[in-house]
Structure 1
């Protein structure tokens, strides 16, 4: 395995705006060469963080989307027995060469890469409770053996690992001890305005202020089951611009509300609040 990389300080990118605490967490993980575990509500940029790190470091990004059925083994490799059986049945190729049917997973690809990569393991808490510890066991060893062929894959470089969690379940203490942790707070108004400026340069100042004011008012509505996120604010503003809307206010005529609220119950709750002649705060 290669020597530890020369420390590089992460400061965000032109399109991914960050703050000191998040920068410190990323740089801590880079220095210690440990996985960075990132939590936060949807829309706070957890997944995009890995893309930003890859861009800032000039590394290739590999993404592993975790499902409820995902096992750590799936990240290493998969033996495609179905394809081998198919080829055997129809005499399509030499089925004696098992290596043809070994498909590397994201971890296996990261280990085999001739250059250091950024590996995003997205929504780790969707898998069963054993998955996180099994995952870090493989990352600690940085090598694995392909049982079917006896080949050993040894990592050429330790990948930069970013792991996201939506807090759907508690993660094991042993897993947490081996990660650098950061919780991404939802952007305050100042940071959000900078984010809006990045995605909508030259946006009319009055429209930007009105949109953000309404956005945060909706987020303060305690009955919402899914609060609007940053990406939904960006999309909403894009629709307002495209439709030539220059003035908005918080009332029953609020345009394109479906771009912000994505659950029927939330739309009903807001409509009921407007019907009672008050702003949707409680």
Structure 2
């Protein structure tokens, strides 16, 4: 995807990645795999597959990631969570991923109870474990509005720097709605010496009610104008508004040098497909 040089316009190369999550019921699973066949047409740079402590142990994430790779031919990153697993279990999971050809990992601390041997754990430990096993391509999480359990954004960026210094190669942010929030976060991270790619994570608004609950849990601010606009109008109005929100976010991010965007798809294809096709045409 390119934008030709013309006056103040700059030649750009834009890519994007798609996050999907495993499902439990047969109907949801069928929908999940249908979504993958739709997303295949978009040719993302990579997919990421979310995990929890249980399904990364039983091997289901590894199987899903490899099936996506077989269907699409694209790179697939598996999420891996530290949680309360003992080091031997984490070593085994990492080795299993590597042996299965899954060499891109999104390394996360996991839930709030990530404690082992009486000590609180951090994602830096998981980065170190992964690189002790093999030279993984590791992405880690960043929080433009700070992690909800962290005292300050400055402290949170210090924690992010620790993960990068441990060997992570990419930051994928929590979702946000105000592009300026991401741009300030990126500037602060760069000032702190974080010199890897910082990828903005965007969440298409599929269900606004569920989104507001998720945002509250994640510490993401939902602007008042969105609350007002999504409380009025009908379903069509909301779909148009969701597309406008995404296109505004993306346009501003691209104007400030962003080259890659990560979409939290929630396995929903329509809005993500629309915006990705718009990106193909416009940029």
TM norm structure 1: 0.31
Which has the higher Rg, Structure 1 or Structure 2? 1
- TM-score normalized with structure 2 length: 0.31
